[in-house]
Amino acid sequence: MHHLSSHFFKFNLIWLCALLSFSLQAATPLPAPPEVAATGYLLVDFHSGKVLAEKGAGNRLEPASLTKIMTAYTVFRELKQGNINLEESVLISEKAWRTPGSRMFIEVGKKIKVIDLIKGMIIQSGNDACVALAEHIAGSEGTFAELMNSHARRLGMSDTHFTNSTGLPDDDHYTTPADIAKVAAATIGEFPEYYPWYSDKSYVFNGIEQHNRNKLLWRDESVDGMKTGHTEAAGYCLVASAQRESMRLISVVMGTKSEASRAQSSQSLLNYGFRFYETHQLYSAGEVLNRARIWKGEREKLPLGLTEDLNITIPRHQYQNLDARMEIEPRIMAPVKQGEVLGHVSVTLNGESITEASLVALKSIANGNIWQQVKDSALLWLE
């Protein structure tokens, strides 16, 4: 008897300690983000869009070679639309050849494949490659910059304006940490076939090997992109993205004082985000979340769901405190078109709202026949 009671006591003690440990862990207040010595910075979750840390994220700053994220994005859009292909040749102009700053060392009058120029732009940060691609796609770098600006507007980059493809200084060439994060996320989301180039550590062209300037690629195996930048006015800049398990973060650091500082600042932000937050997909796009009663239609049930995946980023160990509720229009009458908004999902954490999403019709439902309409009219009258 004593032997059994001793084990029972130990079991309960272990259980109590575990419960106490979990309670303390869950109750631990979220620490402030690390102090980062940069003019502006941002840490954001890729899937949910949740901002985890920021300073001056909406301030217009000189982007230097971070510009090339949008240059590459514009090139990728042209590839997707079939306007160019990776294997076609680009004739190198004198302007491209003479472009100052970092380069991949292309030669005037030579024909270089699009894929080589893209790698020279992304891995070697070649200004000459950027100009060559811009001229090939749009006829001139100025016209290509207009394409870049049109994509920026479409992506909601309201405090961004580009005048060139390289990031060379210009008074009318600017962006913000928040805006550059938007095109970084769009690149990762829209072009999974091209994004892996951002993780390449080196590239050899014309017998010259150059290394990627993103030092985090060597220091943190979860980092798989994206781009460095530097001019005297802009300081040292770095956009980095990392994935650990199913969580992906994007950090933007602009205006640090050295290569070492931009790398350390980015690493600090990423470590903070992964340590103290977690991201969950609550619902998938197109998933049936409710089958609502529809009146006077050819069917009695209408599937409702979301147009996009619903992801949330919350402090770690808080998942059990989430609550999701649906509100649906009380009387849905046919006809209904697919995509029509008929309610919403609201998600709260510890009683505080963290996100909302529209519930839409996942199918179109036409008017029912006369019998169905008469029957439902009677049922509605009796309610």
CA-wise closest residue to 114 among 151, 78, 162 = 78
Collapse the DSSP code of 245 into the 3-class scheme (helix H, G, I; strand E, B; otherwise coil) and give the result.
coil
**CB contact at 8 A, 254 and 190:** no
Cα 147 from Cα 115, distance rounded (Å)? 20
Query: Among residues 125, 165, 241, 265, which one is catalytic?
Result: 125
pLDDT at 380: 83
**pLDDT (tens digit per residue) in 104-138:** 999 999 999 999 999 999 999 999 999 999 999 99
Q: What is the DSSP string of 60-120?
A: -B--GGGHHHHHHHHHHHHHHTTSS-TTSEEEPPHHHHH--SS-----TT-EEEHHHHHHH
Greatest alpha-carbon pair distance for the chain in Å reads 94
Whether cis (ω within 30° of 0) applies to the bond prior to 226 is yes
Query: Tell me: domain 284-382, CATH 2.60.410.10, correct?
Result: yes
CA-wise closest residue to 168 among 258, 67, 266, 69 = 67
> What mean pLDDT is reported for the chain?
92
Q: How many residues does the chain have?
A: 383
Query: Among residues 50, 68, 182, 215, which one is catalytic?
Result: 68
**CB contact at 8 A, 43 and 33:** yes
**pLDDT (tens digit per residue) in 143-192:** 999 999 999 999 999 999 999 999 999 999 999 999 999 999 999 999 99
* List of residues 6+ apart from 272 with CB closer than 8 A: 33, 34, 43, 52, 53
Active-site residue, 65 included: yes
pLDDT at 28: 64
Active-site residue, 68 included: yes
Query: Among residues 48, 65, 265, 268, which one is catalytic?
Result: 65
Is-above-0.85 flag for pTM?
Answer: yes
**pLDDT (tens digit per residue) in 44-100:** 999 999 999 999 999 999 999 999 999 999 999 999 999 999 999 999 999 999 999
pLDDT at 12: 44
Q: Is the pLDDT of residue 20 over 80?
A: no
Q: What's the topology of domain 40-274?
A: Beta-lactamase (3.40.710)
* List of residues 6+ apart from 73 with CB closer than 8 A: 151, 183, 186, 187, 191
**104 to 100, 112, 122, 198, 237: CA distances (angstroms):** 11, 11, 10, 16, 20
pLDDT category of residue 23 using cuts at 50, 70 and 90? very low
pLDDT at 106: 96
Boundaries of every domain in the chain: 40-274, 284-382
Write out the two tokens for 239. 């956009």
Relative to beta strand 290-295, strand 332-333 is parallel
64: left (phi over 0), alpha (psi -120 to 50) or beta: left
